[in-house]
Amino acid sequence: MDLNQSNFDSTVLQSSTPVLIDFWAPWCGPCKVMSPIVEELATEMAGKFTVAKVNVDENGDLAQRFNILSIPTFVVFKSGQVVDQFSGSMSKEALAARLVKHV
């Protein structure tokens, strides 16, 4: 799911499940590496986690709102609050391990 300023609050802040947001850009090499990993986990964790993406080139206001200084950056929301934030590429197992503690 792609997020922008108009659907962010209703999608993320009002979600009944934890939300992983992938802040990325099309020109970012590590973002391209992480994209299929994020998509696999979105499928595997469906119902337990909502996974969404924010293109920082198209939604700079959201990137600024959450002080995103490098990409890929992943932000985990639970009950409308940021509960975790981390950056960089990692293995699927490492990303899954960061997520399961918030389920």
CA distance 2 to 44: 18
For position 51, what pLDDT does the model report? 95
Per-residue pLDDT of the chain (103 residues), as tens digits, is 899 999 999 999 899 999 999 999 999 999 999 999 999 999 999 999 999 999 999 999 999 999 999 999 999 999 999 999 999 999 999 999 999 999 8
Q: Is the dihedral of CA 67, 21, 72, 99 positive or negative?
A: positive
Those residues with Cβ within 8 angstroms of residue 76's Cβ, 6 or more apart along the chain or in another chain: 18, 19, 20, 21, 82, 83, 84, 85, 98, 99, 102
For position 103, what pLDDT does the model report? 86
Give me the active site residues, please.
28, 31
